[in-house]
């Protein structure tokens, strides 16, 4: 049994990871933003002292879909970079045995060849709408590698693709594509208006699979190279909308607003390094994962999900 700290432990991915670790018998501290503002050095220091953890997962982030990234580029850059810097420095100062840092698929260059390989991470600038967030996260990889070299800090950097599943963020102002589609189609049975033309592709990872991947990475990997976490399955936004419509029973019209941005043209990861290094392979097919997410949302948010 280990004493483990999960920043963002009350959030979407964090709550699933905490449950996964507790099932294995670990003593888990789920740090929340209401208790610790990790953009403040003193709060980060207090959190590390309170937890006394042997292993730290840094999942806390300020994040959202295209609209949220367009509205908050400065905040997303500052908050995500500052939180990561404070966590890295406190892990060094308090001699934390191991640190797992969560990156983002948004760190990849806009025109990265598909599937994205970890070696392509520095071959261009990220897609403009989420570049500040992606660059802030990618800077933490540099910091982790530098701290490993100079201070011997054992830290790893994992890059998950788009996550979805129960407890996701369904706020239409800040949500990602799958929860936004689910909510829109349940609330507007006659017509939904979606951004772009539906042609961009995304890769989706069910949240419980992501938690499993993080746990395996912490247990079995201790290298300086970043590692993708995904399924290797590429799906267009248009097809995603069709799968969600089937899952919720939506029979209305889907209208594409081509005056709004598409975001990155294509996203799909080469997930072979994770399988090779720590035996991770995603297990949940997209249709099954979306069906589970819809069922959870109908039960958990009846005011938003008329039956």
User: What's the chain's average pLDDT?
Assistant: 95
Q: Is residue 178 part of a domain?
A: no
> Could you report the per-residue pLDDT of 102-152, keeping only the tens digit for each?
999 999 999 999 999 999 999 999 999 899 999 999 999 999 999 999 999
Reply yes or no on whether the pLDDT at 77 is more than 90.
yes
What is the pLDDT confidence band of residue 304, given thresholds at 50, 70 and 90?
low
Q: Show the beta-strand stretches assigned E in the chain.
A: 3-7, 27-31, 55-58, 98-102, 155-160, 162-164, 191-195, 201-202, 204-206, 227-229, 235-236, 253-257
Residue 300 lies in a domain: no
Gyration radius of the chain over CA positions: 19
Q: Average pLDDT in the 243-251 region? A: 97
In a domain, 62, yes or no: yes
How high is the pLDDT of residue 67? 83
Q: In this structure, are residues 163 and 211 in contact, taking their beta carbons and an 8 Å threshold?
A: no
- Cα–Cα distance, 159 to 227 (Å, whole number): 6
What mean pLDDT comes out for the span 241-261?
95
Total structural domains within the chain: 1
Decide if 293 is inside a domain.
no
24 in any annotated domain: yes
Q: Which residues partner with 228 through β-bridges? A: 159
151 catalytic per annotation: no
Range of the domain at 30: 3-165+204-233+265-284
| pLDDT for position 32 | 95
Whether 88 shows a pLDDT value over 50: the answer reads yes
Catalytic residue selected from 133, 164, 204, 297: 133
């Amino acid at each position: 049994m280990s004493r483990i700290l999960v920043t963002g432990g009350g959030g979407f991915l964090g709550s699933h990871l905490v449950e996964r670790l507790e099932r294995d018998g670990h003593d888990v501290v789920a740090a929340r933003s209401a208790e610790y503002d990790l953009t403040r050095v003193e709060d980060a220091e207090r959190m590390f002292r309170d937890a006394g953890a042997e292993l730290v997962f840094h999942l806390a982030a300020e994040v959202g879909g295209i609209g949220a990234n367009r509205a908050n580029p400065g905040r997303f850059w500052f908050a995500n970079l500052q939180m990561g810097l404070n966590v890295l420095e406190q892990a060094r100062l308090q001699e934390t045995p191991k640190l797992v840092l969560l990156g983002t698929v948004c760190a990849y260059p806009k025109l990265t060849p598909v599937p994205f390989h970890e070696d392509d991470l520095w071959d261009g600038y990220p897609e403009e709408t989420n570049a500040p967030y992606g660059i802030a996260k990618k800077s933490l990889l540099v910091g982790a590698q530098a701290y490993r070299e100079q201070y011997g800090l054992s830290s790893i950097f994992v890059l998950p693709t788009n996550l979805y599943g129960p407890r996701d963020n369904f706020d239409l102002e800040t949500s990602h594509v799958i929860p936004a589609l689910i909510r829109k189609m349940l609330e507007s049975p006659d017509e939904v208006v979606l951004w772009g033309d539906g042609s961009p592709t995304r890769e989706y990872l069910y949240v419980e699979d992501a938690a499993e991947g993080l746990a395996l990475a912490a247990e079995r990997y201790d290298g300086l190279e970043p590692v993708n976490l995904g399924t290797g399955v590429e799906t267009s936004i248009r097809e995603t909308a069709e799968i969600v419509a089937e899952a919720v029973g939506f029979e209305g019209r889907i209208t594409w607003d081509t005056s709004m941005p598409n975001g990155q043209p294509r996203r799909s990861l080469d997930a072979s390094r994770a399988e090779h290094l720590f035996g991770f392979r995603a297990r949940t097919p997209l249709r099954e994962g979306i069906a589970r997410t819809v069922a959870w949302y109908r039960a958990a948010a009846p005011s938003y999900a008329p039956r």
